[in-house]
């Protein structure tokens, strides 16, 4: 199907400059089959996923997905609600193990080791692959204890000063320090929704994971806090890999190097962010980013 100027004018307004739109106009026929198009694989992968399928009971939530997560990259996952982004993300640190009805098949490797291999211990895996959940879930403890929890159970600090320092830097990096520095002993559940979200981010980075999975980390944040978290993501990328689920395409465009588009349990398209947003290869991707889906 040809892309007309008409369609393109619907496109995502802030990120796409005029030249980009023209470039998009020149595109050829778009793919329509339910097969991943683009560049799901990279040369220096941190994590590799092959033929991942996830079932909740008899219901299939994810259908044969294969994708790599490169070192020092931010991979954004976009797609309509219920398409399986969170489910896929939870496969990467085996959080789906905690859902009784959930069954995962396929292969996920972290630095070449299959994380679903029976010999792999899931506890250190989750310390290496940290996760920020879609719904903020602070522990019903004080703000201080919320962040101290991870370092304490992993024995990361030798004394209270070191712990205090970790807590302060984590909160500063998550952009929450100024708001809570005077009430670290207050319960974390007493914070606002957006503050709780940043508390959970701070809690996750306090254990210095190597891969960080973020499930809509900015869904309840104002633009300033969002900017702070995006800065944090850029900063973390210099050492680690980050996979972020977001419903904001501006955000995906701002923070990520590669973008993956999910559609009803299928991985439709993976490619360099700029390319996915300006010159998508698949009809469904194109429909979604131009706002014609759902």
Partner 1 sequence: MFSYITPCVLLLSIAAYYLGTRRANSIAAASGGMKELHSLPTHYGVFTAICSAAPALIIFALWIFFEDKIISVLVTRSLPADLQQLSANELTLVLNEVKNIAYGGFGAGHSGEAVQAAAKTYNLLSEFASNLVAGLVIVACIVPGCIAYKKITKDLRARNIVETTGMAFLICCSGVAILTTLGIVLSVLFEAIRFFQSVPLTDFIFGLDWSPQTAMRVDQAGSSGAFGAVPVFAGTLLIAVIAMMVAIPIGLLSAIYLSEYASPTFRTWAKPILEILAGIPTVVYGFFAALTVAPLIRDLGSATGFTVSSESALAAGLVMGIMIIPFVSSLSDDVIHAVPQSMRDGSFGLGATHFETIRYVVIPAALPGIVGSILLAVSRAIGETMIVVMAAGLSANLSFNPLSAVTTVTVQIVTLLVGDQEFDSPKTLAAFALGLLLFVFTLLLNVIALRVVRKYREQYE
Ligand X SMILES: Nc1ncnc2c1ncn2[C@@H]1O[C@H](COP(=O)(O)OP(=O)(O)OP(=O)(O)O)[C@@H](O)[C@H]1O
Residues found near Mg ion in the complex (CB under 5 A): 86, 134
Out of 200, 236, 253, 268, name the contact with partner 1 by CB under 8 A. 200
- For position 99 contacting ligand X by CB under 6 A, the verdict is yes
Q: Which does 127 bind (CB under 5 to 8 A by kind): Mg ion, partner 1, ligand X, none?
A: partner 1
- For position 189 contacting ligand X by CB under 6 A, the verdict is no
Label the pairing between strands 59-70 and 45-56. antiparallel
- For position 56 contacting ligand X by CB under 6 A, the verdict is yes
Nearer to partner 1, 149 or 177 (CB): 149
- For position 191 contacting ligand X by CB under 6 A, the verdict is no
Out of 124, 162, 222, 293, name the contact with partner 1 by CB under 8 A. 124
How many angstroms separate the CA atoms of 66 and 52, rounded? Answer: 7
CA dihedral 194, 130, 44, 106 (to 10 degrees): -110
Instruction: Tell the smallest beta-carbon distance from residue 271 to partner 1 (Å).
Output: 29
Instruction: Tell the smallest beta-carbon distance from residue 205 to partner 1 (Å).
Output: 11
Q: Which stretch in 51-59, 68-76, 150-158, 230-238 sits in contact with partner 1 by CB under 8 A? A: 150-158
- For position 138 contacting partner 1 by CB under 8 A, the verdict is yes
Out of 85, 237, 263, 282, name the contact with ligand X by CB under 6 A. 85
- For position 154 contacting partner 1 by CB under 8 A, the verdict is yes
- For position 61 contacting ligand X by CB under 6 A, the verdict is yes
Q: Which tokens sit at 109?
A: 């490797």
How many angstroms separate the CA atoms of 114 and 221, rounded? Answer: 35
Instruction: Tell the smallest beta-carbon distance from residue 186 to ligand X (Å).
Output: 29
């Amino acid at each position: 199907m040809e892309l007309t100027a008409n369609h393109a004018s619907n496109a995502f307004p802030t990120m796409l400059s005029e030249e980009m739109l023209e470039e998009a106009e020149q595109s050829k026929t778009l793919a329509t089959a339910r097969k991943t198009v683009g560049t799901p694989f990279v040369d220096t992968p941190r994590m590799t996923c092959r033929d991942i399928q996830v079932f909740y009971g008899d219901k299939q939530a994810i259908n044969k997905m294969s994708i790599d997560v490169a070192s020092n990259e931010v991979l954004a996952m976009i797609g309509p609600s219920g398409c399986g982004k969170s489910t896929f993300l939870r496969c990467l640190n085996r959080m789906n193990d905690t859902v009784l009805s959930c069954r995962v098949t396929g292969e996920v490797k972290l630095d070449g080791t299959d994380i679903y291999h029976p010999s792999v211990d899931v506890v250190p895996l989750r310390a290496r692959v940290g996760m920020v959940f879609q719904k903020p879930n602070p522990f019903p403890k004080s703000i201080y204890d919320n962040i101290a929890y991870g370092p304490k159970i992993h024995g990361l600090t030798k004394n209270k000063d070191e712990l205090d320092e970790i807590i302060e830097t984590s909160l500063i990096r998550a952009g929450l320090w100024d708001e809570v520095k005077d009430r670290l002993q207050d319960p974390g559940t007493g914070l606002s929704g957006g503050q709780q979200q940043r508390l959970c981010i701070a809690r996750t980075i306090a254990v210095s994971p190597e891969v960080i999975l973020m499930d809509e980390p900015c869904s309840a944040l104002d633009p300033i806090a969002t900017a702070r978290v995006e800065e944090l993501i850029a900063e973390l990328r210099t050492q680690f890999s980050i996979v972020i689920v977001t419903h904001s395409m501006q955000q995906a465009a701002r923070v990520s190097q590669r973008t993956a588009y999910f559609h009803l349990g299928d991985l439709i398209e993976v490619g360099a962010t700029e390319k996915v947003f300006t010159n998508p290869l698949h009809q469904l991707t194109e429909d979604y980013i131009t706002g014609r889906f759902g």
